[in-house]
Amino acid sequence: MKFLLDQDVYAVTARFLSSLGPDVVPVSHIGLSQARDEDLLKTAQEQNRIFVTRERDFGNLVFVKALGAGVLYLRISPSTQNAVHNELERVLNTYPEEELKKAFVVIEPDGYRFRRLPKEGLKH
């Protein structure tokens, strides 16, 4: 699996994802630390990556503005990181990459919610 990590994703979470074997690229490594959220989603889509963030505003971009890129939204804090990492691993083991690229998944310490993206937001 290929991921683009928002600048707000904890370093420990980036290391955790990398330990699972996926291709993980932080936005800071490709010069996008100051990029607009819309541009981050566009980059994730262009690079065929799933976007990972802690910022809740991406739900609005994906569903209201129909900017189609798969998003994993982590509702995580330092005190809940182990529980969220466990749920994140469960999501990655449950859904194939192609399904995650067409979904907005909210991952919390006690579970996750999987919601498919609107079809008009899936244009490439």
Beta bridge partners, 23, equal: 2
Under 8 Å between Cβ of 9 and 88 = no
Q: Which two tokens stand for residue 83?
A: 């529980």
Under 8 Å between Cβ of 106 and 75 = yes
Looking up tokens 């244009």 gives 123
DSSP state of 117: P
Residue range 4-58, pLDDT digits in tens = 999 999 999 999 999 988 799 999 999 998 899 999 999 999 999 999 999 988 8
Spatial separation of the C-alpha atoms in residues 15 and 11, rounded to whole Å: 6
Q: What is the pTM of this model?
A: 0.90
pLDDT band at residue 120, thresholds of 50, 70 and 90?
low
- Residue 69: the pLDDT is 80
| Domain range list for the chain | 2-122
